[in-house]
A and B are shown apart, each in its own frame.
Chain A
Amino acid sequence: MTLNEARAPYVKSEASVSSMMRDVLFALLMLLVLPVVHYGVRPLVMAGVTMLACAVCEILFSLIQTRSISLSDGSSLVTGMVIAMLMPLNAPLWLPCAAAAFAILVAKMPFGSIGHTPFNPAAAGVAFAALCWPKEMFSYFDPAVSQSIPPYQDFTAVLTHSPAAVLKNGLKPDILPLDMLWGVFAGPLGATGILVIAACGLFLFLKRTARWEITASFLLAATLIAAFFPRIACSPLTSVKYELMSGSLLFCSVFMVTDPVTAPHRMLGRILYGAFAGFLIMMFRRFGAFEQGAAFAVLIANAAAPQIDSLLCGTLRLGDELYDE
């Protein structure tokens, strides 16, 4: 029996970076269940291809930089999944791959991989795709019309307006609220299953992988703006209902703004950050050119996070009062 030296601590708490990423990945996979049941294997193929693109880009960049390749943290897979979830199902498969390449090669790796990214890579990738190919990004097939969806080929689908686009045009979406809860409406692939997203959010908050206060203040800000300044002529409650359930607002509130790397570090800071992102997303919806500005809102809020941090860390007392021995 030969004994080795080992450095303390010899136990770890169960949460590690890879386990946190596993939790997020699991939650994102749950989002795929409803689309797979409704539309066949294409959602799975799309998610798989995007994750593969992310992994390949990360390996390539590591090779160019002659760094050790570390995929074990799983952050690139999460980035790939989030990008795939924000794409329409009828988009050609190269679109999420292009977004993934931008996310990894421009927004993640040059800054020094996980832990050092100033902007959420997935948000950057989606914003890039929205700016370059708005037509492909914002045309959704009609789930009400039964049509065959091939697993991986491009296809021309019967298109329809998503509720977010209808709201943008100042009209009231013609969808039953129950259908919206179950995700049977035109929208990004993973962002339509409202109930599933809420369940995933609850799972992540209970596992303490994501922080609830960002999501809460984000949703509160969006709700208040939707209630007091509705875009369509309807009661405040109806406006709140359609604003929160359309587009990718709820998905962003659970999976994108809660990213701990790009969020501020103090409780008050996180509340401010969430409210700011919620305000921005509503402003993008009202004044922006696209029907959805979630990715842009997240990027601008990311840019504000260090400022919020330094503001609060500078003025507030750090740590709590200590007793003397």
Chain B
Amino acid sequence: MLHPDLQLYTLYPLSALRRVAFLLIASWIAACAPAFDPDARLDVDVPTRAQVANVPLIRQADFYCGPASIAMVMQWAGADIDQEDVAWLAFSPGARGTYLADMIGSSRRLGQLAVEISTFDQLLSEIDAGHPVIVFQNLGLGIAPVWHYGVVTGYDFGRDEVYLNSGQLEQMVLPFATFERTWRRGDYWGLVVLPPDDLPVSVPEPDILSAGAALERVGQLAAAETLYETGAARWPYSWIWQFGLANARYGQGDLRGARTALRQAQRIDPSVPEIRNNLAQVNHELAG
């Protein structure tokens, strides 16, 4: 069983012996598990196979599966960053692991859009859209957990395979049923980490907005600005993107840019007092 209250996750380096043991267990589980039936399990239409290209394989330092996963996803997006840089912001040495919240927080402090997902539908939709997804797994059993973060980069229903960049130099390939078990024991926790001009496809608008507000909170105002601009292009009838855009610009001292965004917000919905308030404030500062 899962330990939902257990917040701390570590990966012990898989020694050769452990790996053999794990593979034995994995193949045993796979042997007696019913095959993963995409028709029964999925509510979305996804192709029978999809692969995100060019996600680098990084060999994790001891206990660094979390930071290594984030580094892989950020390098894939073109950032110049390594697992040490991420570990500095995310890793808890005393716990010899990385907390879920620190996975999200460190991604945001590095200027990335980070949004959680929790279903197979979302996972496969993101892969199909070309977005790698960080997943939280228990590679062991409920009674003897081996917590681990990996990056799902592809899947193939026909071959019954899920592909992960999993902290080793070779790709990890798991049958769907085995992956499903390891992910279920991690409570289906997944994290989409993207540059702010690329939006997740399987996540509702308010969640992406909140991720933008979080970028503002951690002082990543330029990233927040980009995210709000991208959101405004995708949801042009939603004033709140312009509102956030104005705040991100205001925070960077761009009063005129803030005014432009607030006026746009007001055109979309003239009735919102918060827009009036902020526009008055910006106008006041521009006049003074």
A and B found bound together: no
Q: Which residues of A contact B (CB under 8 A)?
A: none
Q: Which residues of B contact A (CB under 8 A)?
A: none
